[in-house]
Amino acid sequence: MEGLTLSDAEQKYYSDLFSYCDIESTKKVVVNGRVLELFRAAQLPNDVVLQIMELCGATRLGYFGRSQFYIALKLVAVAQSGFPLRVESINTVKDLPLPRFVASKNEQESRHAASFSSDSENQGSYSGVIPPPPGRGQVKKGPGSHDAVQPRASADQQEPASPVVSPQQSPPTSPHTWRKHNRHPSGGNSERPLAGPGPFWSPFGDTQSGSSAGDAVWSGHSPPPPQENWVSFADTPPTSTLLTMHPASVQDQTTVRTVASATTANEIRRQSSSYDDPWKITDEQRQYYVNQFKTIQPDLNGLIPGSAAKEFFTKSKLPILELSHIWELSDFDKDGALTLDEFCAAFHLVVARKNGYDLPEKLPESLMPKLIDLEDSADVGDQPGEVGYSGSPAEAPPSKSPSMPSLNQTWPELNQSSEQWETFSERSSSSQTLTQFDSNIAPADPDTAIVHPVPIRMTPSKIHMQEMELRRGSSDHTNPTSPLLMKTSDLSEENKINSSVKFPSGNTVADGYSSSDSFPSDPEQIGSNVTRQRSHSGTSPDNTAPPPPPPRPQPSHSRSSSLDMNRTFAVTTGQQQAGVVAHPPAVPPRPQPSQAPGPSVHRPVDADGLITHTSTSPQQIPEQPNFADFSQFEVFAASNVTEEQDSEAEKHPEVLPTEKASDPTTSLRIAQADGKIEEKTAASVPANVSKGTTPLAPPPKPVRRRLKSEDELRPDVDEHTQKTGVLAAVLASQPSIPRSVGKDKKAIQASIRRNKETNTVLARLNSELQQQLKDVLEERISLEVQLEQLRPFSHL
């Protein structure tokens, strides 16, 4: 079977016909009465029919598969147009009119009669006897109503089949069941549920016979308004013997939820046209739902409490599990109560389920409660057109579906505005119902990258709070957090987290818990968070513009773990202002004399070793904060015990100012690190005393780590960094880059960049120096060994 290309109209038409013929919905049409009838109605000579069947392969297969059926129909059209029947002709003949099926008059009449009678049986045939739709030509019906087809065929052929075309396989059998009673399948023409000219309800046709059983089910009420027919909860569960509804299986035609008054509904639908989806609620249905709602809750804007809803829906005799699922789907705001929209959605789902539709995993678009719940509820019954929950009543139906996703995108935002969502501020529960728009909406799940810069506060709890709020902001659920976020972003300049690494843990759903709980967040962890973040910001020079630096005398510092830094900065701020203008660390000149690295190397060595000198440590600690202060080097120098150091130590103060930045910076760093080490390893100090060179091993490690973190720190503490103050002295001889004291962003950024460059240079220097240090140590060790070896000789 070669490929068959069908135009849209043809496609629709054929699928209608197919579903019509496909009584058992097995996707194969056995050559049965309907098919024969159909072909007969094509008014083609028998041999042509036979030929067609042969050509399409049905005779070979013994049945009409969908493709065979389509081919057959196309061949019918071909034949009817007078073209020779050939297999090739199905594709080559362009602009083929749709095949016409003419029914005999008798059939026609009988159908009419049947449909009318069936309708009259219907309660209140919804608008009395179904008036023939005005523009008959528009709606398509199952192949059954050949008569209808014929007059319409021509019209249909021209029009792209009405958008409202009944589905083939997913017939809204519900209307049948809604028909309360045993309407009767009018004789053999069960295919035609409605008036001959009536709509092209293939589903009806198919299900009519089946539906009678279904009808019996809804026996409960009698005569009441059509709406009541739909569902009578008080009765035995319906037999959903009807064709399974596959809402998703609709091709280009979509199921239109039909009401028994299919014609009127059809008319309406036809007029409104639109891309229907199987879950749309028709007006009548909606009216019915609204009425039911009123019986429980007279106020249309009110809520139905869960218990009442439970009782109500339990009457439908669906299994509790399914009702539970329906509830989950329809209670959009998860408040345990149903608004009118939610109720209608729930009701609709119940009806669908009873009719054999499978429950969707997620709430279908058309059932979503309108975004503007309260205002629109009044308009519910008034809209003549398709009601579908478009959320924007003014929206033209055809554009409804495409716009739905966008509307639902705004749902999260609107959620906040709707008062019904007040209780919701803490939850991101909409994530589940909105997941069908995954492609459109960033999942409400806050696992998405957090883009907001996160200022870190000093206090651990506050830091945590901000983390929470950050995440909350990203989940865009709560209003209160966003202003807070905005506020907090202005605060500390730290961690302008440009990369989204910041909170590797940052996938929390911020919710009310965060504000109410007392987080025993450990400062260390947060500190590490902070440092990690900082590391990122430090290593990526191309970060987006950092927020403006915080005011200088800042009581809190982002480095939660380094309380000392506060003092450091606080003190150095003053100090710096004393004399040295904070210079961005320009590339420090390399050490001038080769000797300079020597002493500098030793100095750090001694500095490390000196840490162990408890006597000096107290001195160092207070001096520690003097980040920029070279007096600490003097201290070191002064406390240098090693003889070889003395001379050099004295040189230090002189050397320092002239030395290229590496030394002071490294020593400074080490000093700083030492300071930190002191903070942390006060206990190990005595231990260190005993070890001579060994302290070097551990200290370098923390030193290096601290160094690294300090490296990162540097850009952050740029403004008031006093490490730059250190360099300032060094830089005194260098062309100092004028730094605007005012918060000139560009200057700051430039200075940051320079600082970073300096950092890298210094780091390199540092590593080189460390290497030298190691070498020197090795030398020393070897010398000592030699000494030992020689010692016995000395005694001799």
Tokens of 754: 């320079």
Is 447 near other proteins (CB under 8 A)?
yes
* Residue selected from 505, 642, 647, 694 as contacting other proteins according to rule CB under 8 A: 505
* Residue selected from 310, 315, 567, 745 as contacting other proteins according to rule CB under 8 A: 310
Helix axis angle for 283-296 and 340-354, nearest 10°, is: 120
Least distance CB 706 / other proteins (angstroms): 23
Size of the site for other proteins (CB under 8 A): 43
Least distance CB 528 / other proteins (angstroms): 10
SS3 letters across 371-428 = CCHHHHHHHHHHCCCCCCCCCCCCCCHHHHHHHHHHHHHHHHHHHHHCHHHHHHHHCC
Of the two residues 318 and 673, which places its CB atom closer to other proteins in the complex?
318
Of the two residues 522 and 775, which places its CB atom closer to other proteins in the complex?
522
**Distance between CA atoms of residues 643 and 650, nearest Å:** 12
Is 309 near other proteins (CB under 8 A)?
yes
Is 429 near other proteins (CB under 8 A)?
yes
DSSP string of 420-489?
GGGGGGG--THHHHHGGGTTTS--SSTTSPP-S-----SSHHHHHHHHHHHHHHHTT--TTHHHHHHHHH
Least distance CB 530 / other proteins (angstroms): 13
Here's the x/- map for other proteins, 150-169, by CB under 8 A: it reads as --------------------
DSSP string of 545-572?
PPPPPPPSS-S--S-TT-HHHHHHHHHH
Site for other proteins in 55-74 (CB under 8 A): none
Is 215 near other proteins (CB under 8 A)?
no
Of the two residues 361 and 644, which places its CB atom closer to other proteins in the complex?
361
Is 410 near other proteins (CB under 8 A)?
no
Is 252 near other proteins (CB under 8 A)?
no
**Distance between CA atoms of residues 494 and 748, nearest Å:** 14
Least distance CB 245 / other proteins (angstroms): 20
Q: Which residue carries 């009669």 as its tokens? A: 113
Site for other proteins in 519-558 (CB under 8 A): 519, 521-522, 525
Is 489 near other proteins (CB under 8 A)?
no
Region near other proteins per CB under 8 A, out of 219-227, 242-250, 322-330, 537-545: 322-330
Of the two residues 309 and 728, which places its CB atom closer to other proteins in the complex?
309
Type of residue at 369: P
Secondary structure element (H or E) that encloses residue 748, with its range? helix 745-795
Beta bridge mates, 30: 63
Report the chain's terminal Cα–Cα distance, integer Å.
112
Of the two residues 264 and 478, which places its CB atom closer to other proteins in the complex?
478
Is 427 near other proteins (CB under 8 A)?
yes
DSSP string of 565-625?
HHHHHHHHHHHHHHT------PPPPPPSSTTTHHHHHHHHHHHHHHHT-TTHHHHHHHHTT
Is 306 near other proteins (CB under 8 A)?
yes
Is 325 near other proteins (CB under 8 A)?
yes
Give the dihedral sign, CA 356/362/368/369.
positive
Is 353 near other proteins (CB under 8 A)?
no
Is residue 338 helix, strand or coil? strand
* Residue selected from 334, 743, 745, 753 as contacting other proteins according to rule CB under 8 A: 334
**Distance between CA atoms of residues 42 and 49, nearest Å:** 9
Q: Which residue carries 């109503």 as its tokens? A: 145
Q: What Rg, from alpha-carbon coordinates, does the chain have?
A: 42
Least distance CB 324 / other proteins (angstroms): 4
Region near other proteins per CB under 8 A, out of 60-68, 221-229, 426-434, 589-597: 426-434
Region near other proteins per CB under 8 A, out of 125-133, 244-252, 328-336, 490-498: 328-336
**Distance between CA atoms of residues 554 and 569, nearest Å:** 9
Is 473 near other proteins (CB under 8 A)?
no
* Residue selected from 20, 101, 347, 503 as contacting other proteins according to rule CB under 8 A: 503
Is residue 110 helix, strand or coil? helix
Is 361 near other proteins (CB under 8 A)?
yes
Tokens of 439: 């492609």
Is residue 63 helix, strand or coil? strand
Is 471 near other proteins (CB under 8 A)?
yes
Is 502 near other proteins (CB under 8 A)?
no
Q: How far is CA 116 from the centre of its chain?
A: 51
Least distance CB 533 / other proteins (angstroms): 13
Q: How far is CA 181 from CA 174, 317, 394, 754, in A?
A: 13, 19, 37, 86
Is 237 near other proteins (CB under 8 A)?
no
* Residue selected from 109, 328, 395, 757 as contacting other proteins according to rule CB under 8 A: 328
Of the two residues 8 and 438, which places its CB atom closer to other proteins in the complex?
438
Least distance CB 472 / other proteins (angstroms): 11
Region near other proteins per CB under 8 A, out of 49-57, 144-152, 504-512, 553-561: 504-512
Q: Which residue carries 């806050």 as its tokens? A: 446
Contact 270, 397 (CB under 8 A): no
Q: What angle do CA 230, 233, 238 make, to 5 degrees?
A: 70
Region near other proteins per CB under 8 A, out of 18-26, 187-195, 511-519, 536-544: 511-519
CB atoms under 10 Å from CB of 557, counted, come to 26
Is 134 near other proteins (CB under 8 A)?
no
Interface residues with other proteins (CB under 8 A)? 306-307, 309-310, 313, 320-321, 323-325, 327-328, 331, 334-336, 361, 426-429, 432, 445, 447, 464, 467, 471, 503-509, 511, 513, 516-519, 521-522, 525
